Amino acid sequence: MGMAQLGNRLYTGESSYDFVGRRKVWFLIAAALVLVSAVLLVKPGLTYGIEFEGGSEFRVTGSSDQDAAREAVESVLPGAVPTVTSVGTNGVRVQTETVSNAELDEIRAELADRLGVPAADVASSSIGPSWGADVTNKAITGLVVFLVIVSIVMALYFRAWTMAVATLVALFHDLIITAGVYSLVGFEVTPASVIGFLTILGYSLYDTVVVFDKVRENTEGAFDKKDRTFAQAANLAVNQTIVRSVNTTVVALLPVAAILFIGDLLLGAGTLRDISLALFVGMLVGAYSSIFVATPLLVVLRSREAKVQQHDREVREGGPAEPVAAT
């Protein structure tokens, strides 16, 4: 059976997967992933770039000798533990704690000498801790403002606070797991990472809104028709949108995967990996949360309403048709 044919059968209800009915399984999987990610955020924890913690950075073009770069810094700053990474196919980035202007010039000269490149090929910059703290505060403020606006818009658009709550839970799920993966692989959190986090939150929100919009459409007249319970109507909405969600996610992941795996691992474009990792993990997790977390959680919240309970009771007494098993 092709994807188009499967999508048509799912949309019309000829075939149906019981996503909502198996919500306990999905919730356990989501809770386990969030718990593991939370532990990873504590130990080993996130690695913040100098934009957040402050420090000095040196970029050398024309040589990729990391050992020589590390020795150059240690010769000027005995006992220092510099972070040395490759940049592209023929470059090195060195990060240290914040140093004085004199030490900055001395390290630049030592790097040029030991790596055998002209002094003009060694660029340096320093960021103070106060500037890093300011960047951190603005990043947190941006995230909080985003979540507040999302809550208000979702509550007003769908006229239901339950959808806003389910959306926020899904977004936190995506954010924590993505951050946990960052901690696991040891990638630095940079402003590019923050942009990636906000982008995947927007992507996850879009995916959830598509499903919730179908839920609203399916349940708009459900209380009058009495042909299916609220859970069945929500499950139908997931089935009707899942093919679209999967196709959209796959198409979006392909270029991001190319940037992450080919650009970083093969070509050495390390400056792209911060945002590409956030996008890759976030899009994947966001597709999962919109289908397996947000909608089942919405059903749990709405099932506590007296109106929904009364409606579901009347539908069950009338004997609604059972969904056809997918083949």
Q: What is the DSSP string of 251-269?
A: HHHHHHHIIIIIIIIIT--
Compare 254 and 86 and report the one with higher pLDDT. Answer: 254
- Do 277 and 191 belong together in one domain? yes
- What is the C-alpha separation between 100 and 80, in angstroms, rounded? 14
Question: For residue 326, what pLDDT band results from cuts at 50, 70 and 90?
Answer: very low
3-class secondary-structure state, position 196: helix
Q: pLDDT > 90: what percent of the chain?
A: 18
Strand-pair category, 122-127 with 55-61: antiparallel
Residues 152 and 211 in one domain: yes
Q: Which residue carries 């592209």 as its tokens?
A: 88
Asked if residue 204 lies in contact with residue 286, where contact means CB atoms within 8 angstroms, the answer is yes
Across the range 154-161, mean pLDDT stands at 80
* Domain finish residue from 75, 94, 127: 127
Which contacts (CB < 8 Å, 24+ apart) does range 214-221 have? 214/240, 214/241, 215/295, 215/298, 216/158
Assess whether 25 and 78 both reside in one domain: no
Q: How much is the pLDDT for 320?
A: 45
Answer yes or no: do 145 and 185 share one domain: yes
Whether residue 324 is contained in a domain is answered as no
Give domain status of residue 325, yes or no: no
Question: In terms of DSSP bridges, do strands 188-189 and 91-96 run parallel, antiparallel, or are they unpaired?
Answer: unpaired
Q: Is pLDDT above 90 for 29?
A: yes
Same domain, 177 and 279: yes
Confidence of residue 324 (pLDDT cuts 50, 70, 90): very low
Q: Is the same domain home to 156 and 194?
A: yes
Contact of 53 with 129, CB cutoff 8 Å: yes
- Residue 35 pLDDT grade (very low, low, confident, very high; cuts 50, 70, 90): very high
| R_g over Cα of the chain | 25
pLDDT at 267: 60
Same domain? For 109 and 149 the reply is: no
Please state the domain count of the chain: 2
Distance of CA 251 to the CA centre of its chain: 16
Q: What is the pLDDT of residues 37-75, one digit of tens each?
A: 999 999 888 878 777 777 888 989 888 888 999 999 999
The amino acid at 270: G
Q: Yes or no: say if 176 and 37 are a contact pair by the CB < 8 Å rule.
A: yes
User: According to the model, what pLDDT value does residue 39 have?
Assistant: 95
| Model pLDDT for residues 160-207, shown as the tens digit of each residue | 788 889 989 999 999 999 999 988 988 778 877 888 888 888 888 888
Choosing from 127, 150, 183, the residue where a domain stops is: 127
**At 127, is the secondary structure helix, strand, or coil?**
strand
Are 183 and 262 within one domain?
Answer: yes
- Residue 224 belongs to some domain of the structure: yes
- Work out the mean pLDDT of the chain and round it to a whole number: 83
Give the alpha-carbon dihedral of 296, 298, 303, 307, to 10 degrees.
Answer: -140
Any idea what the CATH number is for the domain that residue 102 is in? 3.30.70.600
Residue 95 host element (H or E): strand 91-96
Boundary (domain end) residue, out of 70, 97, 127: 127
Distance CA 172, CA 34 (A): 9
245 and 137 within one domain: yes
Tens digit of pLDDT for each residue in 1-19?
555 566 566 656 667 788 9
- Tell me the mean pLDDT in the region 133-146: 80
Range of the domain at 87: 55-127
Nearest to 85 by CA among 109, 58, 47: 58
CB distance 298 to 168 below 8 Å? no
In this prediction, residues 295-315 reach a mean pLDDT of 88
pLDDT of residue 327: 40
DSSP 7-76: HHHHHHTSSB--TTTTHHHHHHHHHHHHHHHHHHIIIII-EE-HHHH-EEEEEEES---HHHHHHHHHHH
Residue 252's pLDDT band, with cuts at 50, 70 and 90, is: confident
Question: Is-contact 176 167, C-beta < 8 A?
Answer: no
Q: Are residues 91 and 137 in the same domain?
A: no
**Residue 323 located in a structural domain:** no
Residues 102 and 211 in one domain: no
